[in-house]
Structure 1
């Protein structure tokens, strides 16, 4: 088993006034040659967007983009004709493929929006751009690692063009379990959204992350009430 730990304090951080953002991997003005990606996981941004502010229209191509609002709401518009609000408790996915323009704004004028935006390299290039957005409420189960993303359209959650599986866990203090990897040659990146855990023997706190490879399973123990994001991706 190989592990790499990224503490919350070690992330790139920029406060632009309207956007207070942390980057686990190199992004925009943050560059660390040792932290370009973990396998096909390219971006893990932790964004706090001020009321009524957001990202103007901008392009993407050949990337799988996943957005998970943690609290607040995000207004999305794109060149595919999609326009709507992504709420906390939902997940959005966009396959940029041959190219897409989109904008993202905090649709509230009286409160901030906190979200995770994740980019994964696709397993095929120049696909037709696509968009999906679903509620996680029906699949969320306390003290279970419930799937929110996979490579398969018929699986629970959203799907992307990559052999990747994402799970969330809303775990009580003292919960212990094992995450078993699904893909041959996959690694897994675990991100502590809230709380504290011990993962593969390593104690982790809020917003810490750990990348693990060369293993078939990972042992997890919650040491407080915890919300955990698990991202299995090809290495």
Structure 2
């Protein structure tokens, strides 16, 4: 099964310094049909004006993943981590038993654009931790997050994986999937045709994603992604 979540259907928030689009219920946006997907709880598409940002605030028992698309984040937290996160890098903060952090646009002149992603952990009350890494621009699938740090990926407290997907114009990628797991595909750049092979070997109707669109995938044994006439960037979540 493939179910599309169109970008224009997402929740909206605007506070002057921040404009955000919420794939799932978050803050003042509540839709009982959009409370997450498997362990994936939040995908917020955030735009922050120069010099502005999120003042210190607390979290606990949540895996918080940040992916910078444009600009640079200045990060500071109660564990003593002080870092800058430039475009292209991933940050994973395990809130665990509790952490306070702030996230600001590090520039006084350039805008900041990033994705904030929350994953529900499968263990609770653990010591908080911080990880950060640039996984480069290798075409195809690049493992970014895993529960065991496979292929030097960031380690998350959940039985899930996250892949960076980069395709050249017109390129097709076939991915063998586990029909017993669920997958979520979030498109960041350009358009992408998605086709899934189900349990009976029948190919589902091809669907095309536009930037900001997402696709829930379940009972799919193979996934085919085809880029249009421009390079594609996306994230693929492999979920329990």
TM-score range, shorter chain: over 0.9
- CA shift for structure 1 position 10: 0.3
Structure 1 runs (4+) greater than 4 angstroms displaced: none
Counterpart pick for 2:156 among 160, 167, 175:
160
Q: Deviations over 1:160-181 (max 9, x none)?
A: 0011111112212211112223
Q: What SS does the aligned partner of 2:157 have?
A: coil
d(CA) in 2 for partners of 1:195, 1:98:
39
- CA shift for structure 1 position 153: 2.5
Q: What SS does the aligned partner of 1:155 have?
A: helix
Structure 2 gap segments, 5+ residues each: 196-205
d(CA) in 2 for partners of 1:209, 1:191:
4
- CA shift for structure 1 position 146: 1.2
1:181 — aligned with what? 177
Q: What SS does the aligned partner of 2:151 have?
A: coil
1:55 — aligned with what? 54
- CA shift for structure 1 position 154: 4.5
Q: Deviations over 1:35-92 (max 9, x none)?
A: 0010110000000010000001111111100000001000111111101101112110
2:238 — aligned with what? 232
- CA shift for structure 1 position 4: 1.8
Alignment of 1:16-165 (within 5 A): 16-137=15-136, 140-142=137-139, 144-165=140-161
d(CA) in 2 for partners of 1:65, 1:202:
29
Structure 1 gap segments, 5+ residues each: none
Q: CA RMSD in A?
A: 1.3
d(CA) in 2 for partners of 1:206, 1:172:
16
Q: What SS does the aligned partner of 2:239 have?
A: strand
Change (3 A) 1:221 1:4: same
- CA shift for structure 1 position 155: 2.8
Scaled by the length of structure 2, what TM-score is found? 0.92
d(CA) in 2 for partners of 1:155, 1:127:
24
